[in-house]
Amino acid sequence: MVMDLWVTLEELYQGNFVELFRNKPVAKPAKGTRRCNCFQEMVTRQLGLGRFQMMQQTVCDECPNGKLVNEEKLLEVEIGAGMKDGREQVFVAEGEPHIDGAPGDLNLKIRTMPRHVFERNGTKTDDGY
């Protein structure tokens, strides 16, 4: 999951910590069971001398039931002094969750808010000066 994080030119120049509140769906257990969406594995069975049969088999018949509940989560993002526009900060396992698997990563793409007075025109590393 990729989201834009808009920051000021001053924050990119001086550095800052930005607190970001987000409602994150979290998987919680629920009553009962549900149909299995688990992975399947290949099973080889010998039918006779020199004869084999291969078939797919689900790992389990039923999985415990689950539901997604929104929880407010605080993320603290460090804006490094001199950070470039477009750089991504990765938060491992902070993305959207899945009932049948682990949550993905949350990538925050740093974006510069437009200003009328100043604008960034390259950096020392960009133009070689």
**Average pLDDT, 10 consecutive residues per value, the chain (129 residues):** 90 91 84 69 81 77 74 92 91 82 88 77 51
What pLDDT score was predicted for residue 61? 58
Give the whole-angstrom CA distance, residue 4 versus residue 19: 14
Could you tell me the sign of the dihedral formed by the alpha carbons of 32, 33, 34, 38, in that order? positive
Strands 51-58 and 40-48: antiparallel
DSSP state of 114: P
- In this predicted model, what pLDDT tens digit does every residue of 54-76 receive, in sequence order? 888 766 656 667 788 889 989 99
Amino acid at residue number 3: M
The predicted pLDDT at position 54 comes to 84
Residue 79 near residue 113, CB atoms below 8 Å: no
Largest CA distance in the chain: 83
Domain ranges of the chain: 2-127
The answer as to CATH 3.40.720.10 being correct for domain 2-127 is no
Buried b (16+ CB within 10 A) or exposed e, 105-117: ebebebebeeeee
